[in-house]
């Protein structure tokens, strides 16, 4: 078993090292689908622990010999985001568990952020908050101009809170993110495609995004919706294949 802990959290080493044995017994479940996320009370406050789904045999081999695990990447990427001034819950530790010499599963330990996600602030409201949408578009521009491609950029992975006259955004589920010196326009638009399937909201955000970047708004919208339709078609095909099996 591999355990990596930030020095300032060493006092909770026993708790962290025993996560594989105690994860199911303790804590409060807040998410349980492909991965499982629980909230724990510790001597240093509330922490979030995410246990990643056990990968298939081929993936286990890849994570053992060739690629960093999702837990390790999420742990490291949190610091990279914060250095760039992009808010994300602070990483505390990660644990990797092996079985028969192969990676089996990983645990990520991080701080708590109780802010709601943007589904609540934007998607689920008939008349969405245009000021919130404007500031979110500006946040996306800043992130892309810094060369950051969030690996799963959708409204559920962006948290927000009101601060003064504006909003503060934080990102979660960052383990699949990529960092580059500069991003192409196509990379940026492709990254925005999974934001939401709600057309009027996506159009508003992308229109504002393109305007901030001084891009041709109508051309950008045309390309963005072409990419969205392609993504949705791919999803429908996957669903048909799943039903045929």
Q: Would you give per-residue pLDDT tens digits along the chain (245 residues)?
A: 999 999 999 999 999 999 999 999 999 999 998 999 999 999 999 999 999 999 999 999 999 999 999 999 999 999 999 999 999 999 999 999 999 999 999 999 999 999 999 998 898 888 999 999 999 999 999 999 999 999 999 999 999 999 999 999 999 999 999 999 999 999 999 999 999 999 999 999 999 999 999 999 999 999 999 999 999 888 777 776 666 75
* CA-based torsion, 189, 52, 155, 134: positive or negative: negative
Between β-strands 36-42 and 45-51, what pairing exists: parallel, antiparallel or unpaired?
Answer: antiparallel
Residue-wise pLDDT for 106-149, tens only, equals 999 999 999 999 998 898 888 999 999 999 999 999 999 999 99
Which residue from 144, 157, 150, 128 is spatially nearest to 209, judged by alpha carbons? 144
pLDDT at 209: 99
Q: What is the pLDDT of residue 241?
A: 64
Residue-level pLDDT at 51:
98
User: Which pairing describes strands 166-171 and 28-32: parallel, antiparallel, or unpaired?
Assistant: unpaired
Q: Are 166 and 132 in contact (CB under 8 A)?
A: no
Measured CA to CA, the distance from residue 245 to residue 242 in angstroms comes to: 5
Which domains are assigned to the chain?
A: 2-111 (3.30.200), 118-241 (1.10.510)
pTM greater than the 0.85 cutoff: yes
pLDDT at 35: 96
User: Does residue 116 sit in helix, strand or coil?
Assistant: coil
Neighbours of 179 (CB within 10 A): 13
pLDDT of residue 240: 65
d(CA 38, CA 149): 26
């Amino acid at each position: 078993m591999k355990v990596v802990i930030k020095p300032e959290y060493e006092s909770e080493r026993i708790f962290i090292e025993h996560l594989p044995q105690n994860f199911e017994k303790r804590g409060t479940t807040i998410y349980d689908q492909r991965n499982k996320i629980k909230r724990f009370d510790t001597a240093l406050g509330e922490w979030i622990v995410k246990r990643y789904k056990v990968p298939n045999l081929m993936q286990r081999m890849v994570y053992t010999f060739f690629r960093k695990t999702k837990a390790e990447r999420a742990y490291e990427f949190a610091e990279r985001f914060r250095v760039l001034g992009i808010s994300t819950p602070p990483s505390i530790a990660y644990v990797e568990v092996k079985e028969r010499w192969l990676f089996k599963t990983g645990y990520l330990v991080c701080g708590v952020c109780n802010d709601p996600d943007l589904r609540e602030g934007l998607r689920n409201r008939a008349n969405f908050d245009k000021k919130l949408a404007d500031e979110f578009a500006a946040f996306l521009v800043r992130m892309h101009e810094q060369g950051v491609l969030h690996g799963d950029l959708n409204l559920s992975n962006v948290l927000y809170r009101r601060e003064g006259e504006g909003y503060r955004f934080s990102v979660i589920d960052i383990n699949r993110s990529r960092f580059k010196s500069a991003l192409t326009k196509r990379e940026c638009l492709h990254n925005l495609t999974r934001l939401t399937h709600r057309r009027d909201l996506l159009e508003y955000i992308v229109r504002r995004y393109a305007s901030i970047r001084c891009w041709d708004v109508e051309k950008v919208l045309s390309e963005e919706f072409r990419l969205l339709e392609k993504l949705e078609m791919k999803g429908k095909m996957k669903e048909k294949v799943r039903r045929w099996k």
